Amino acid sequence: MKRLTILYSAMILLLLMILVVSCQQKPAPAPAPVTEPAIPTNFTTYTSEGFFSISYPQDWAPAMSVMEELEKEAKAWVKSIDPEALVEEMKLIFAAGMPTSEGWYPAISIALAPRSMGYYTLDEIIEVEDLWARENMQRYNVYSQVRTVVDGREADISCDEDYEPETGLWRSTRLTTVKGDFVWFVDCSSESQDYNDYEDIFDSIVRSLRILN
């Protein structure tokens, strides 16, 4: 089951992204300044030059060799749930995790979607995601939700849990933020039974996102 972590994370991200393409246009308020925590010294940083960077523990590794397959499978899964989903608008741009004999576990995924229907607020995005999840995801529960600032812009960091028949009970730390015409999603996931072991690591990872362009 643990080999499915990155695929699970990618599928959930892409599914959430179909919910943010029809919000009304509203100006986003400027976030209040906060002191951002330092990236842990035992982390390494992956940089996609001129695009983004993300930091994670030194014993984790990128999973770029499976990115194309992950995105294809994730989009097919989204289409099976919502045939009208605009999956061509979605892009999985990064995946990594702790290498194991079965794949990567736990794992991180980063996905990107254009705000193609207007400039809408983070509040609207979070609201529609939560509403859909409560109506459609089994045993969905939000354990915490924090509005903060990451990389100088407003961000939402949540801890939520849901159940999928084929993958079991999973818990994620998820960051959602917006910049310009795009919505960014960063998801760190593990089986729920292991989440307490990784909670602090997940929080540091999602807060380390830097959007470079």
In a domain, 27, yes or no: no
Alpha helices in the chain (DSSP H): 5-17, 67-81, 122-136, 195-207
In a domain, 95, yes or no: yes
pLDDT value for 4: 43
Give the pLDDT mean for 106-130. Answer: 76
In a domain, 199, yes or no: yes
Distance of CA 99 to the CA centre of its chain: 19
Which residues are registered as beta bridge partners of 211?
52
- Residues 130-136: contacts with CB under 8 Å, at least 24 apart: 132/16, 132/19, 133/16, 133/160, 133/162, 136/81
Predicted TM-score of the model (pTM): 0.80
In a domain, 202, yes or no: yes
| Pairwise CA distance, residues 91 & 88, whole Å | 8
| Pairwise CA distance, residues 4 & 46, whole Å | 22
What percent of the chain shows pLDDT beyond 70? 70
In a domain, 12, yes or no: yes
Q: Is the pLDDT of residue 199 over 90?
A: yes
| Pairwise CA distance, residues 177 & 174, whole Å | 10
In a domain, 66, yes or no: yes
pLDDT value for 187: 93
Q: Is the pLDDT of residue 211 over 50?
A: yes
Q: Is the pLDDT of residue 123 over 60?
A: yes
In a domain, 29, yes or no: no
Instruction: Give the count of domains, the chain.
Output: 1
CATH number of the domain within which 137 lies: 3.40.1000.10
What percent of the chain shows pLDDT beyond 90? 37
Domain of residue 15, residue span: 2-22+42-211
pLDDT value for 94: 92
Least confident among 67-71, 99-103, 108-112, 113-117:
113-117
Beta strands in the chain (DSSP E): 43-48, 52-57, 61-62, 91-100, 103-114, 138-150, 153-164, 168-179, 182-191, 210-211
Q: How confident is the model at residue 125 (pLDDT cuts 50, 70, 90)?
A: confident
Closest CA to 93 of 46, 154, 158, 31: 46
pLDDT value for 26: 42
Least confident among 64-73, 76-85, 156-165, 177-186:
76-85
pLDDT value for 116: 54
pLDDT value for 81: 63
Q: Is the pLDDT of residue 186 over 60?
A: yes
In a domain, 32, yes or no: no
| Pairwise CA distance, residues 64 & 87, whole Å | 20
